[in-house]
Chains A and B, each alone.
Chain A
């Protein structure tokens, strides 16, 4: 059963704490992405990776970090520098970076601040 798995579904962060959101795909896709969704707003790109061991900043990378050590995994760390982390986080992947390719999305992680 191929797809993208995000975990946990709900996550709570204390002040000053770093938290890591997991994203795993078994689609053998080269490219992976992290988006942030705020209520009533569109998706904004945080980071993306076109290939293993390489990643690029998106539009709102400040306060976040990523790694891409394995093709199937693209974890996102929300650091204490991110002052407003409450949002719905979506991970996505695509076979490559071609303009005609669609993105496949995970079911998301809702992050809230305690």
Chain B
């Protein structure tokens, strides 16, 4: 079946530091890949997505590139802000079989001023 593995958190950074959150996946076929963000007490919001190999998703300074050869979709941001503090989830949606999203365990990011 499909699965997603994320680096464990929490990740604690100072403001303006570089961020990387690792994500690898296992899936058959050609899944679409997503990063969602969750602020305290809220539901999830889509941050970015990529639907085929070598696609780069980007939004609000965050980027992730769909690497089929390494089955990875790492999230990066060049300069984090305190307002980026949240939990980040990597997810995939397969193109065969069950079409629901499969999520990673989430990575909590804490950005200190």
Q: Do A and B come from one complex?
A: yes
Over the window 44-82 of chain A, the binary record of Cβ atoms lying under 8 Å from chain B Cβ atoms (1 yes, 0 no) is 110010100000101000000000000000000000000
* A98 contacts the other chain (CB 8 A): yes
Q: How large is the interface on B (under 10, 10 to 19, 20 to 34, 35 or more residues)?
A: 20 to 34
Tell me whether B106 and A42 are in contact (CB under 8 A): yes
Given A42-B89, A99-B51, A106–B43 Cβ distance below 8 Å? yes
| Cα distance A56–B98 in the bound complex, in angstroms | 9
Q: B17 to nearest A CB, angstroms? A: 23
Tell me whether B99 and A97 are in contact (CB under 8 A): yes
Tell me whether A98 and B99 are in contact (CB under 8 A): yes
Q: Which residues of A contact B22 (CB under 8 A)?
A: none
Tell me whether A43 and B103 are in contact (CB under 8 A): yes
Tell me whether A45 and B100 are in contact (CB under 8 A): yes
Q: Which residues of B contact A111 (CB under 8 A)?
A: none
Q: List 27 A-B contacts (CB under 8 A).
A: A33-B101, A35-B103, A40-B106, A41-B105, A41-B106, A42-B89, A42-B104, A42-B105, A42-B106, A43-B44, A43-B89, A44-B103, A45-B101, A48-B98, A48-B100, A56-B98, A99-B30, A99-B51, A99-B93, A99-B94, A99-B95, A100-B49, A100-B93, A103-B101, A105-B45, A107-B43, A108-B42
8 closest Cβ contacts across the A-B interface? A105-B43, A97-B99, A42-B105, A99-B95, A42-B103, A43-B103, A105-B44, A100-B51
